[in-house]
Structure 1
Amino acid sequence: MAEFNTIRTAGAGVRTAEIDAGLRAHMNKVYGTMSGGLLITALAAWAIAGLATTTNPASAVAQLPNGTMLTALGSAIYISPLKWVIMFAPLAFVFLGWGALMRRGSAATVQLGFFAFAALMGLSFSSIFIVFTSFSIAQTFLVTAIAFAGLSLWGYTTKKDISAWGSFLIMGVIGLIVAMVINIFLQSPAMMFAISAIGVLIFAGLTAFYTQDIKNTYVAHAAHGDQEWLDKAAMDGALSLYISFLNMFQFLLMFLGQQE
């Protein structure tokens, strides 16, 4: 009997070690995919901003209030009605397209969809290179990265169950979106300041929440051995953390960014 218990304990220990190793690989895949998405977004935003602006008055077709001269591309994406499509297309993808892609696509297709979304976000974020100085963008990115790393590490290591935060924070995101749409028409600086402050807090909480949720989801499903499902779950986790990072960066830029 003692020998049987020893074998059973040893087997459980081996299984636990396998899950721990698998979890580390899973989290590396999540963070690696997320980092790749951020790199694509940054490069796309920088490239598009360069193509959308010009210093040659002869090739300019429009000019922004801050004096930036726009090419035909810049006029189309920053001034024409197309700007509304660019603004809301990422939301449509997250709320309508991503779920269908997760259900029907393979892991490779889901990853491709994530990187395509990251490129689309680059188009949406390209305007920051026109409004803010490059130094303040880099500075804010560094601050966001440090904050994100700390929050994600806490979410991964804490023994506290923060799963109850999810529904409350998602409701906060919905309220934030509604407030931002309203402020498009009101153009209230005070309201924008409040939105930015609340937005930083909400996405800080979501960073910790998503990290713990990704970890718990892997541990709960690792025993089933469905690698295809786990690979897709890694892409889903990467998207969640990617969105949290970008939104924290965007809202912090409202405080730390210096305009051109």
Structure 2
Amino acid sequence: MQLDTYGQQTRVLSQGANRVLRNTYLLLALSMVPTVAGALIGVQMQFSFLAGSPLVSFLLFMGISFAFFYGIEKNKNSGVGVALLLAFTFFMGLMLSRILQVALGFSNGGSMIALAGGGTAAIFATMAGIASVSKRDFSNMGKFLTVGLVVVLIAMVANIFLQMPVLQLVISAVVVLLFSGYILYDISNIVQGGETNYVTATLAVYLDIYNVFVSLLHLIMSFTGERD
């Protein structure tokens, strides 16, 4: 009887995790629409977010982002949370337009953006596949990833003042590795039943993908960019 009850509980948990994962993927796909729209509008408008003041720009960006995070988390169980998430992804699309403008200044800009997109998709598919198929719990990665994120943020702020191209390349490479790990961690957290809200889960995975794409594009531009 106890084994029967345990089996039923396991099935219920598994069904719940699958539902959250499915809804996360659906909302993640939807979130790409405002992201692309924001990026296209930003490129057309030559959008620049306080480019002359990198530190102020960074602090303002972080402030707006955390305001969105708070609002999304506060309303994650309602349609307001979904609306805020989509508004945030539009904002992130606008922010993305800056690096896209730089990329399009190269003669091979379009192919570099496509390569970064393909690379990001391959990384996501691989990490999500491992997290979904493997029965291993990757939650023990959390502390390591958090420490890595803090170190990266400190390095990014430092490089605002240092302006060292080599350090920026190192940061970009570390970010690709770090957020690839976060994809594995976040998808595993959903599969294992640790995350039960698909809005929160979508926000986490979206940020993982976004950071991988931006850093991968920066690396590709640095090594393969061709001027006219």
TM range (shorter): 0.7 to 0.9
Does structure 1 residue 153 correspond to structure 2 residue 147?
no
- Which of 44, 50, 67 is the equivalent residue of 2:44? 50
Q: Distance in 1 between matches of 2:208 and 2:30?
A: 15
Once the two structures are superposed, the pairs formed by residues 33-112 of structure 1 within 5 Å of their partners are 33-52=27-46, 74=47, 77=49, 79=51, 81=53, 87-99=58-70, 101-103=72-74, 106-112=77-83
Structure 2 residue runs without a partner (length 5+): 104-108
Q: Which structure has more RCO (C-alpha within 8 Å, separation ≥ 6)? A: 2
Q: What is the aligned partner in structure 1 of residue 106 from structure 2?
A: none
Q: Aligned residue for 2:160?
A: 184
Which residue does 1:55 correspond to in 2? none
Deviation track 1:61-117 (CA, whole Å, cap 9, x = no partner) reads xxxxxxxxxxxxx4x645455x76654445334545424542356421111111111
Task: Find the aligned partners of 1:29 and 1:105 in 2 and give their Cα distance.
Answer: 13
Measured at CA, do residues 100 and 49 of structure 1 come closer, stay the same or move farther in structure 2, by a change above 3 Å?
Answer: closer
Please say if 1:209 is aligned against 2:173. no
Runs of 4+ aligned residues of structure 1 deviating over 6 Å after TM superposition are none
* Structure 1 residues 101 and 140, CA gap change in structure 2 (3 angstroms): closer
CA contact (8 A) 2:68 2:85 kept: no
Alignment-derived partner of residue 247 in structure 1:
211
Contact 1:87/1:124 (8 A) holds in 2: no
The worse-fitting range, judged by mean Cα deviation, of 95-104 and 138-147 is 95-104
Give the distance between the partners of 1:259 and 1:79, measured in 2 at CA: 23
Matches within 5 A, 1:200-239: 200-217=176-193, 230=196, 233-239=197-203
For residues 100 and 30 of structure 1, do their structure 2 counterparts lie closer, same or farther at Cα, with a shift above 3 Å needed?
Answer: same
Does structure 1 conserve the Cα–Cα contact (< 8 Å) formed by 2:117 and 2:213?
yes
Match of residue 165 from structure 1: 141
Code of the aligned partner of 2:193: T
CA gap of 1:80–1:197, structure 2 versus 1, over 3 A, is closer
Q: What TM-score results when the alignment is normalised by the length of structure 1?
A: 0.74
Contact 1:46 1:129 in 2 (8 A): no
Tell me which amino acid in the other structure corresponds to 2:25.
Y
- CA drift of 1:183 comes to 1.1
Unaligned runs of 5+ in 1: 53-73, 220-229
Q: Is the 8 A contact 1:86 1:124 kept in 2?
A: no
Distance in structure 2 (CA, Å) of the matches to 1:160 and 1:106: 29
Match of 2:170 in 1: 194
8 Å Cα contact 2:42/2:97 also seen in 1: yes
Seen in structure 2, the aligned counterparts of structure 1 residues 44 and 94 have a Cα distance that, compared at 3 Å, is closer
Q: Tell me by how many angstroms 1:196 deviates.
A: 1.1
Q: Which amino acid aligns with 2:179?
A: F
With structure 2 as the length reference, what TM-score do the two structures score?
Answer: 0.83
Q: Deviations over 1:144-187 (max 9, x none)?
A: 11111111121222232321211221121121112112112221
Q: Give, in angstroms, the shift of residue 198 of structure 1.
A: 1.1
Change in CA separation of 1:105 and 1:215 when aligned onto 2, cut-off 3 Å: closer
Alignment counterpart, residue 114 of structure 1, candidates 85, 92, 95: 85
Q: CA RMSD of the aligned region, Å?
A: 2.6
- Which amino acid is the alignment partner of residue 172 of structure 2? S
Whichever residue aligns with residue 213 of structure 1, its letter is N
Deviation at 1:23, TM superposition (A): 2.5
Deviation of 1:249 (Å): 0.8
Instruction: Give % identity.
Output: 24
Distance 1:189 1:167, change over 3 A: same
Q: Distance in 2 between matches of 1:105 and 1:166?
A: 22
**Distance in 2 of aligned mates of 1:86 and 1:110:** 26
The aligned counterpart of 1:30 is 24
8 Å Cα contact 2:74-2:81 kept in structure 1: no
